[in-house]
Amino acid sequence: MPRKFDQTSPYWIDNRARVVAIQKLMKEKGLDVYLGTRPRTLSFILDAFCPWRSFLIIPAQGDPVLYTFLVDATRVADETWLPTDNVRAYAPMGGQDQITVVSSMITEELGLAKGRLGVEDGISTYTPEGNLTHYEWEMLQQALPSWEFVNAHSLVDGLSFIKDAGTIARFREASRIVDEGQKVARAAIEHGGWKGMTETEIAGIAALAMRRAGSVSEWNFAGLNEISSGYRTGLGACTPPTNRKFQAGEPLMLDFHSMFMLALGDHSHNYLIKPVSASLRRHADNFVDLVETVLANYKPGATPSSLSAIMMDRAEVLGCADYILPGCEHGIGLFGDEWRIGQATDGPFPYWTDPDHVYEKGELLICAMQYAAPDEGVGFRYENPILIGENGCETLSKFPLAIEEID
């Protein structure tokens, strides 16, 4: 559906102002052109779903120009705020390939024979990060021999770090949608509904409920909701659903995703299918205690290191330190932005979470915790978008934190 440019909408984002802010930073850094290739950059600037390999050229002044794959250019032009003429196609035809159109736009249309080109480069554990590839870098250098290439992704990362009101409103709605999926899933499995049901089936039931509530995608790079049951709950993060049937006496983890106007909903909820052993109940109670402990300490001034220390100290008291992964979060932003916490890359391990990053009001991230006891065939996961406020954090998914026992 084409975007509606209603500035009175709670979901309104001033994308042109974002471009102007980037151009101001470009001037400070001495960059003549910025070339964006990452999905996170495309979402942040275009405010449109852009899944194909694309190249966003931001000049020193004026609106950007996007080159995306031929089959999708018309649709993107219909959905973004950019003027139609600024969304263009590349294709495997003479003079229309990616390298030619990008370099020609810079040298001929912008009239720049030389300068400093900001590009996006780095590493990530996230598969579709979208950094400039080695081949693209080499070919663009051949096409732009008088240009200096500068890794400049931190410009976008810094600006997108603190969320504006429209972005926050979108995330709240995405989380409301995920809660609808959790409600319908809960109703489907209770009172024996789980009997004969598979992981794939409950994933589909929730997906339909969330689509009816307004979600347009399951959004994550795996392209699915993540479900695990029984021993699979102890295998760690990312559990694509299988055709495994639920069994009595086992744990069950439902991790649902949604997308609303490029904002992402993400919430994991855990259950125990009766009869529940004392050992299983103890693991479940320990995990809930740990989640509550961590959420109570997310606030301005805290750091990933301080939260991990608090979590692990509590785990030692509970006697479950061997089962909890020593991390509490992963990043979240508009589509394509779910990896790093903190925009700086000067921590002990560049491009990973800076353990000494100090949280600020307005940050939005995922409280993500994993409890895994594979030898006992049990594990739990908690994921929920949180917004850092003045004195603590707001959990955006409102589905109750508990590990319930299902008949």
Q: Long-range CB contacts (< 8 A, 24+ apart) of 26-32?
A: 26/58, 26/60, 26/118, 26/152, 26/155, 27/60, 29/118, 29/150, 29/152, 29/155, 30/116, 31/60, 31/115, 31/116, 31/117, 31/118, 31/150, 31/152, 32/60, 32/112, 32/115, 32/116, 32/117
Q: What is the DSSP letter of 195?
A: T
Name the token pair of 59: 């000049």
Say if pTM beats, i.e. exceeds, 0.85: yes
- Position of tokens 């051949």? 142
Name the nearest CA neighbour of 199 among 225, 177, 179: 225
Which pLDDT value is given to residue 2? 44
Measured over the CA atoms of residue 43, residue 49, residue 50 and residue 56, the dihedral's sign is negative
Q: What is the DSSP letter of 361?
A: T
Which pLDDT value is given to residue 366? 95
3-state secondary structure of 252: strand
Mean pLDDT by 10 residues, the chain (407 residues): 71 97 98 97 96 97 98 96 97 95 98 98 86 97 98 94 96 98 98 98 98 91 86 91 97 97 96 98 98 98 95 98 92 86 72 88 95 95 97 97 97
Which pLDDT value is given to residue 123? 87
311 near 327, Cβ under 8 Å?
Answer: no
Name the token pair of 319: 């006697």
Which pLDDT value is given to residue 107? 98
3-state secondary structure of 268: strand
What DSSP string describes 90-158? E-SSTT-SHHHHHHHIIIIIS--SSEEEEE-----SSTT--PPPHHHHHHHHHHSTTEEEEE-THHHHH
